[in-house]
Amino acid sequence: MKIIGTGRAVPKHTVSNDMLSEFLDTSDEWIVPRTGIHTRQIITDETLQDLAIEASKKALADSGLEAKDIDFILCSNVANNYVTPAMSAFIQEATGCTCPFFDINGACAGFIYALDIADAYMHSGRAKNILIVAAEEVTKFCNWKQRETSVLFGDGAAAAVVSYDAEPMPVILTGDANYKDVITYRRKLEQTPFEQPDKAVNEAMILKGRDVFRMAVTCAKRDIKALLDKAGLQPSDIKYFMLHQANKRIVDAIQEHLEMPAEKFPTIIDHSGNTSSASVPLLIDETAEKGMINEGDLLLLDAFGAGFVTGAAIVKWGKKSK
Ligand code: ACO
């Protein structure tokens, strides 16, 4: 499978660490060395649907395809204001596509899970071109009185148009529900007259940051090595290692482990924060926009998230530099 177009859209409101310290007991001095985050974009009067649509239209235009050429729309999203219909319904309507669509929740690894589904559709002959969109507003899962979680996240949407390639995409997906408690966010639904109020529902995200950090580094090392072995490639064959932007220190740990130069591990977390499944496609689009990716380049994508799930894949850049 190859990527033939990308696009992104982020909220206009930029929030610095100093702005957070006006209402939270935190500081730039605490946040930067532990996470690498300086600023993040947070949704104010936009909707997540607006961002997902803008990113999709840009990716479609970048691919040179028309709406009628898209055979499927997959949207990766952990949660948004609409329980139903799926976010991908809004995307279909606004882009003028007429194909089927659905949303998936692969947590922060959702973009890689969507790529895997797309590759399977393509290799079963059911689709040639697929629009994948990752759109997340994680800042709305946080309790903004809790400095442990709220300083880490940002919002955004990014999209990629992917197209059939004769070689199946090398991919590794894993899940271990023994660790499902390291990141949880429970939402209240309507209460029926037939049940007692669920007092146990916690209305904001719970994040065991140190456990996530440890697991992220352990799993990424394991998955990247296994994926390279599976694909019969050396680290030097990969143009860029594009890791989920959860913490700059996690990226640094993987880079040091692989003994590859830091330039092969582009990051955006300094100005994006953690945008869940949108982080990898946001990173791809920003890197491509700088003219750093050329036709035929191999990108190794790696992400991890609540569940605990992980995903790693090697995709080909299928167009001239952006
Ligand atoms: N500002 C100031 N102090 C803070 C803040 C803050 N924002 N947050 C926590 N602290 C305090 C704690 O209360 C603690 O104080 P104490 O020592 O008096 O008890 C102290 O700082 C140290 O806290 P630690 O949790 O030990 O800090 P650590 O160095 O582990 O860094 C962090 C925390 C940044 C969350 C790190 O563990 C991390 O990045 N983990 C990964 C998190 C992650 O990826 N989350 C994404 C989840 S979803 C996904 O993408 C998979």
120 burial class (0-12, 13-18, 19+ CB within 10 angstroms)? middle
User: If you measure from the C-alpha of residue 296 to the centroid of ligand 1, how many angstroms do you get, rounded to a whole number?
Assistant: 39
What is the model's pLDDT at position 63? 97
Give the residue with greater pLDDT, 237 vs 196: 237
Q: Tokens for 272?
A: 């994006």
Residue with tokens 């994508």: 301
Q: Tokens for 183?
A: 């990141």
Give the residue with greater pLDDT, 199 vs 62: 62
Give the single-character DSSP code of 170: P
User: If you measure from the C-alpha of residue 301 to the centroid of ligand 1, how many angstroms do you get, rounded to a whole number?
Assistant: 25
Residue 237: pLDDT band with limits 50, 70, 90: very high
Is pLDDT of 208 > 80? yes
- Which of the listed residues 142, 146, 247 should we mutate to test ligand 1's pocket, taking the one with most ligand atoms within 8 A of CB? 247
Amino acid at 25: D
Amino acid at 92: Q
Question: Phi-psi bin for 75: left (phi > 0), alpha (psi -120 to 50), beta?
Answer: beta
Q: Tokens for 11?
A: 């909220």
Residue 200: pLDDT band with limits 50, 70, 90: low
The matching CATH number, chosen from 1.20.1250.20, 2.60.40.420, 3.40.47.10, 3.10.180.10, for 171-317 is 3.40.47.10
Residue 191: pLDDT band with limits 50, 70, 90: confident
- The average pLDDT across 160-180 equals 96
Give the single-character DSSP code of 42: -
Show which residues are catalytic.
108, 244, 274
CA separation for the pair 117, 192 (Å, rounded): 36
User: If you measure from the C-alpha of residue 308 to the centroid of ligand 1, how many angstroms do you get, rounded to a whole number?
Assistant: 19
Read off the pLDDT of residues 47-75 as tens digits, 9 standing for 90 and up. 999 999 999 999 999 999 999 999 999 99
**157: nearest Cα among 302, 274, 299, 53:** 53
Q: Could you state, in order of their start, the residue ranges of all structural domains in the chain?
A: 2-163, 171-317
What is the model's pLDDT at position 244? 98
Mention every residue, 6+ apart, whose C-beta is less than 8 A from residue 203: 143, 186, 187, 188
178-187, 228-237, 242-251, 292-301: lowest mean pLDDT where?
A: 178-187
Question: DSSP letters of 93-112?
Answer: HHHT--S-EEEE--GGGHHH
Helices H / strands E in the chain, number of each: 10, 13
- The average pLDDT across 166-181 equals 95
**Mean confidence (pLDDT) of the chain:** 95
Note whether 2-163 and 171-317 share their fold.
yes
Is pLDDT of 202 > 70? no
CA atoms within 13 A on the CB side of 251: 28
Q: What percent of the chain has pLDDT over 70?
A: 98
CA separation for the pair 213, 198 (Å, rounded): 31
Beta strands in 256-308, from DSSP E residues, in sequence order: 298-305
Is pLDDT of 188 > 90? no
CA separation for the pair 161, 129 (Å, rounded): 7
Read off the pLDDT of residues 110-151 as tens digits, 9 standing for 90 and up. 999 999 999 999 999 999 999 999 999 999 999 999 999 999
CA separation for the pair 157, 142 (Å, rounded): 18
What is the model's pLDDT at position 232? 97
In angstroms, the Cα distances linking 45 to 50, 51, 248, 252 are: 10, 11, 29, 35
Is pLDDT of 242 > 90? yes
Is pLDDT of 247 > 80? yes
- The average pLDDT across 249-254 equals 96
What is the model's pLDDT at position 319? 84
| Domain 2-163 CATH assignment equals 3.40.47.10 | yes
Q: Tokens for 287?
A: 């890197």
Beta strands in 34-100, from DSSP E residues, in sequence order: 39-41, 72-76
Which of 83-94 are b and which e, b meaning 16 or more Cβ less than 10 Å from the residue's Cβ? eeebbbbbbbeb
Residues with CB under 6 A from ligand 1: 26, 30-31, 34-35, 108, 147-148, 151-152, 183, 207, 209-210, 212-213, 246-247, 274, 304-305
